[in-house]
Amino acid sequence: MTAIIEKAIQGIVARFEEGDIPEAIAYSLFPAPDIPSSQWSLLNRVLLFLAGTIDARGIRQWNQAGRKVKKGSKAIYILVPRMVKKESDAGEERDVLIGFMCRPVFRVEDTEGEPLDYEPPKLPDNMPLLDKAMEWGISVEALPGNGRYYGYYSPEEKSISMATPEETVFFHELAHAAHDRVIGGLKRTQDWKQEIVAELAAAVLCSLVGKTSQTLGNSHRYIEEYAKTAGVSAVQGCLRVLGDVEKVLKLILGSVPDKEQQEDRMAV
């Protein structure tokens, strides 16, 4: 059992070194709702992502859901606390953590049976600017969400994942993709400037498709929260990133080349 725990930890450390953990954390922040893994620790949800799934459960849990583990499937392991009952000096019994142990679970992909309650949202086929993502080789996919986190752009996978059909979320993630191309690589954290660039650009794109009144208030609150982390007001935050916002919008709307295109032209 110790060897299994060490293997799990070594796997996480290796992915840190490879730079995959920020992506894993971003995905694990919007697990499907009302399933056991939604209540897991962030560490175990990261392990879930690294195993290539959004849902994993024990055999008994799958049986209760009307599904069975396919023959020959291999378990993945999560870390759970090991608690024991101990009596205090006052004679009171309490639970004491003495370490961790591994628990085997199986991915939803390794089960069969009754359909599950959750489903990814259906994304509109005619979503504005979807063709721009396709042009850049970026896939757009739906993931079930929990109502707190709505989307994520992965530069490595060249994908936009959405837990809502709202166009505003797609515009925000598309703006991240454009910003990535403009500056030649985003920071691998939720940087306040990157988030304000994406949200301000998304607000402008929303106005072009007639969704301003529905999104302006949310955008202001979003920008205000990230501006606070830098110790500036929402207006000051927007003013500091206007240059990048302009480049992002021009790239999305097709009037400026990205950094790769500029480098290609210089090489000719």
Chain-centroid distance of CA 94 in Å reads 38
Distance CA 71, CA 74 (A): 9
Residue 70 has pLDDT above 90, yes or no: yes
pLDDT reported for residue 201: 92
What pLDDT band is residue 239 in, cutting at 50, 70 and 90? very high
> What is the residue whose two structure tokens read 């060249």?
158
Give the start-to-end residue ranges of the domains of the chain. 2-108, 130-267
The pair phi, psi for residue 62, each rounded to 5°, is -65, -40
CB 206 within 8 A of CB 213: no
Distance CA 72, CA 91 (A): 49
> Of 203, 230, 207, 237, which Cα lies nearest the Cα of 218?
203
pLDDT > 70 in the chain, percent: 80
Residue 103 has pLDDT above 50, yes or no: yes
DSSP notation for 171-223? HHHHHHHHHHHHHTS--SS--HHHHHHHHHHHHHHHHHTT-HHHHHHHHHHHH
pLDDT reported for residue 107: 93
25 DSSP assignment:
H
| pTM of this structure | 0.67
Q: 110-163 pLDDT, tens per residue?
A: 999 998 877 778 888 888 999 999 999 999 988 877 666 788 898 888 999 888
- Give, in order, the Cα–Cα distances in Å from 78 to each of 7, 99, 176: 11, 14, 32
Beta bridge partners of 83: 97
Residue 210 has pLDDT above 80, yes or no: no
Averaged pLDDT of the chain: 82
pLDDT reported for residue 256: 47
